[in-house]
Structure 1
Amino acid sequence: MRKILIVGAGQSGLQLALGLQSQGYEVTLMSNRTADEIRSGRIMSTQCMFHTALQHERDLGINFWESQAPRIEGLGVSVAAPDSTRPIDWVGTLDGYAQSVDQRVKMAGWMETFAQRGGQLVIHGAAVSDLDFFSRTYDLVMVSAGKGELVSMFGRDASRSPYDAPQRALAVAYVHGMGPRPEHPDYDAVRCNLVPGVGELFVMPTLTTTGRADILFWEGIPGGPLDAFQGIKDPAEHLSLTLELMERFTPWEYARATKVELTDGSGTLAGRYAPTVRNPIGRLPGGGLVLGVADVVVANDPITGQGSNSASKCAAAYLSSITEHGDRPFDEAWMQSTFDRYWDTAQHVTKWTNAMLGVPPEHVLNLIGAAGGLQPVADRFANGFNNPADFENFFYDPALTDAYLTEVSSASGASGSSVPE
């Protein structure tokens, strides 16, 4: 059977490795950390996976934590006014529930499963020179490690990358002790709190190494009041600042966070990066080619919560391309067509995410406002997180937005409830 090397043990690399392994491929997986080091290390992301991405895991039988992770039934949007009230506040119901599993839990568990099933696991940080050698001994080499030297092999695609600098400063804290939203205490939802001109606060339930928890995630406009986490090394100080900013800008979320504590000493994260689409094929000094995977080649800002979803969809698309290709060579044309297959999905994520990073135009504000009184609008917006391609039909074009709102208003008599049943 054909030999495949995957460098990087995140959502896409491990999902792809386990999928190929189940199809009988001889797979080697390289990781710069052991499973135990991942499990006891720092949090890595703010993952919330929606139905389609979760289904890819179910299809492979690797949804090991589905019964333990909170079932996220909805997605809510609140918009803050200058006086810290909420003129807009609604929640849309998801057609299929979402879930978040701390990547320390998932990646460590998947890595152990891969090894137990006979996969070759190599704990070693890979350099370009390593790949130069490996490209001659494997039928296909894929890079799914989205940071470091290896990413430099994949050139930036300027035509698909409108931003050349970070558009948000990111700050994450995993906490225990978060209370429910009082308006629907038994209903788990991702909460998107928009603070115009300042940034966004996302709150989402998750499963972490110590059980059920919540993620507090600030996205701050650079140079603004939320851009305050650089240089903070102490986790307690990070949490204190997170709460201070919540009290100032989103007091309704702060009200249920007064008793929180960090899940563990590694439960905070801060940073920033420029959203970038890269060319999918890396050229090695010796002439070999490697294929970039997921956020190596399409790295979006996490404002739309698509990172782990996109990684799962990329792994699923690549798995299909590999298995359908049979014994033919994995040449440059195949690599490009394989990426293009993924880009059919990813382009919608990139377009939507980049739009959300900008100042929303009037018709988008009207859409978000209308969702408070028109439940079908709230539901459709919420389900766009699972299928971002649908935003093409009602989000970007003012005429399409107006026509959609007119249609829904007529059908509902301009009535609707924003409270889930």
Structure 2
Amino acid sequence: MRKILVVGAGQSGLQLALTLREHDYDVTVMSARTPEEIRGGRVMSTQCMFHASLQHERDHGLNLWEEQTVRVEGLGVSIAGPDSSRVMDWVAKLDNYAQSVDQRVKMAGWLELFEERGGKLITHGVTTADLNALAAMYDLVVVAAGKGELVQLFDRDPSRSPYTKPQRALSVAYVHGMTPRPEHPDFSAVRFNIIPGVGELFIIPGYTLTGNCEILFFEGIPGGPLDCWADRPGPAEHLDRFLGLMKQFLPWEYDRCADAELTDARATLAGAYTPMVRRPVGELPSGHAVLGMADVVVANDPITGQGSNNAAKCAAVYLDRILERGEQPFDREWMENTFERYWDYAQHVTQWTNAMLQPPPPHVLEILGAAQVNPVVARRFGNGFTDPTDFQHWFLDPQKAADYLASVAKD
């Protein structure tokens, strides 16, 4: 039985570990925290998983919260004008619903499920020195911990990484008590609000420790008014500041928040990171090679909501590659080729995400404007979140966009 060590207990690492257990691999997961500590900790992220990613979980019996989690049936876009009015507003129904489960809920539950399925869990933070001593005991070591010392094992790939500093200041609050958007009170939708020159606000219906909620998520352009979290305010002040910014820039969303309150005392988060693609193979002092996965090697800005979706896709690709390998060694060449299989998909997400971090060019504004009056365009944009490879065909290139808009105008 082949022995595999997965370092990190997030979406990608645990999905890979759990699915490998279905094939009787001897799998060990190293997590810095116990399930109880994860549930009792601070929120770790925003997330919204779209149909293709959710299907990976369903296929392996990992969709433990699907019945109780609110269904995200639409995606809407609003653009604020200089006077904080709405100059654009539309919503599209998704072909298949999305869902968002707080990672405190999911990762704690998946760790427990992993042990129930016969996996070995070691609760311990891992340093490079620790990994150096452990690597010889396993046929394959996968690093899925996107933060901390181990990331430094993987060098930045400058050919795939256009940015050298954070492109947004990030701020999150999970809340109860928001009222529905009056434009679609009968279904829930991710709301994508653009404040030109300032940043973005996403509102994501989700499920947390205390039930269904809304996830408020600001992306602030560095140096602008939304880049105001360096003092790390406490939870109450964080929410007050958040609501004040909503009132100033997005009053139609603020109007929904009269009764908004934090879901729990650890429901806020602020920070920033540099979008980066790293080389997939890290070398330990002993000479052993380790394979990076998901946001260890492809860390995109969350502006397109693809972090958990990328992680699910990466875990699915790595599972297939491991199963295909049989008893052959997991050498450097195999590791490189495994990552390239994933990059065949992830490159499209990275290109789209990096484009969305820039001021929208004229052809993108034309697309968003067309979506307001043509539901076919709105539907294609919304469903691109489950299959971002589609954007290369119509959204990212001015000529392709013009050709597409001309074709749908004739329908």
TM-score higher than 0.5 here? yes
Equivalent pairs counted in the alignment come to 411
In structure 1, distance between residues paired with 2:295 and 2:362: 31
- Per the alignment, residue 202 of structure 1 pairs with 202
Letter in 1 for 2:125: G
CA distance in 1 between partners of 2:365 and 2:197 (Å): 14
- The offset of 1:375, in angstroms, is 0.3
Task: State the alpha-carbon separation in 1 of the partners of residues 124 and 108 from structure 2.
Answer: 16
Alignment of 1:10-409 (within 5 A): 10-409=10-409
Question: Counterparts of 2:68 and 2:380 in 1: how far apart (Å)?
Answer: 27
Question: Equivalents in 2 of 1:84, 1:101: separation in Å?
Answer: 31
- SS of 1:136's equivalent in the other structure is helix
> Partner of 2:33: helix, strand, or coil?
coil
Structure 2: gaps spanning 5 or more residues: none
TM-score by length of 2: 0.99
Q: Deviations over 1:97-124 (max 9, x none)?
A: 1000000000000000111222110000
Which residue number in structure 1 is paired with residue 5 of structure 2?
A: 5
1:73-108 Cα deviation digits (max 9, x unpaired): 111000000111111101122111100000000000
Query: Which aligned runs of 4 or more in structure 1 are off by greater than 6 angstroms?
Result: none
Letter of the structure 1 residue corresponding to residue 51 of structure 2: H
Q: Shift of the alpha carbon at 1:49? A: 0.1
Distance 2:311 2:258 in 1: 34
Unaligned segments of structure 1, at least 5 residues: 412-421
CA distance in 2, matches of 1:81, 1:330: 54
TM-superposed CA distance for 1:232, in Å, is: 2.6
TM-score (norm 1): 0.97
RMSD: 0.6
* 1:24-65 Cα deviation digits (max 9, x unpaired): 000000000000000110000111000010001011111000
Over residues 239-270 of structure 1, what are the superposed CA-to-partner deviations in whole Å (9 max), with x where a residue is unaligned?
00100000011100000012100000000000
**How far apart, CA to CA, are the structure 1 residues paired with 2:126 and 2:370?**
50
Give the Cα–Cα distance (whole angstroms) in 1 for the partners of residues 274 and 221 of structure 2: 13
TM-superposition CA deviations, 1:99-151 (whole Å, max 9, x none)? 00000000000000111222110000111111112211100000000011100
> Could you tell me the percent identity over the aligned residues?
64
Q: Distance in 2 between matches of 1:117 and 1:183?
A: 45
Using the TM superposition, give the Cα deviation of residue 184 of structure 1 relative to its aligned residue in structure 2, in angstroms.
1.2
Q: Partners of 1:231 and 1:155 in 2: how far apart?
A: 31
CA distances 1:270-316 after superposition (whole Å, capped 9, x unpaired): 00000000000000101000000100000000000000000000000
Kindly provide the amino acid, as one letter, of the partner of residue 326 in structure 2.
Answer: G
Structure 2: how far apart are the matches of 1:371 and 1:301? 24
Q: Distance in 2 between matches of 1:233 and 1:143?
A: 32
Cα distance in 1 for partners of 2:366, 2:243 equals: 30
Q: Distance in 1 between matches of 2:275 and 2:228?
A: 20
Separation of aligned partners in 2, 1:272 and 1:84: 26
* CA distance, structure 1, for counterparts of residue 230 and residue 187 of structure 2: 34
Q: Distance in 1 between matches of 2:313 and 2:251?
A: 36
SS in 2 for 1:91: strand
Mapped to 2, the partners of 1:3 and 1:238 lie a distance apart of: 45
Structure 2 distance, partners of 1:151, 1:178, is 38
Amino acid in structure 2 at the alignment position of 1:295: D
Q: Distance in 2 between matches of 1:49 and 1:397?
A: 26
The worse-fitting range, judged by mean Cα deviation, of 113-122 and 41-50 is: 113-122
Q: Match of 1:153, as an amino acid?
A: L
Distance of 2:141 and 2:281 partners within structure 1: 11
> For residue 300 of structure 1, what is the amino acid of its counterpart?
N
Q: Whole-Å Cα distance in 2 between the matches of residues 78 and 186 of structure 1? A: 19
State the AA in 2 paired with 1:232.
Answer: R
- Mapped to 2, the partners of 1:168 and 1:129 lie a distance apart of 33
What is residue 414 of structure 1 aligned with on the other side?
none
Rounded to whole Å, the distance in 1 between the matches of 2:23 and 2:85 is 54
Letter in 2 for 1:408: V
TM superposition shift of 1:233: 3.1
> What residue identity is the alignment partner of 2:75?
L
The SS at the match of 1:87 is: strand
CA distance in 1, matches of 2:179, 2:324: 48
Question: 1: distance between equivalents of 2:90 and 2:154?
Answer: 41
Taking the aligned partners of 1:246 and 1:333, their CA distance within structure 2 comes to: 50
> Secondary structure of the equivalent of 1:380?
helix
Distance in 2 separating the partners of 1:232 and 1:129: 32
Shift of 1:409: 1.1
SS of equivalent residue, structure 1 residue 212: strand
Matching residue's letter, 2:311: A
Distance 1:307 1:333 in 2: 26
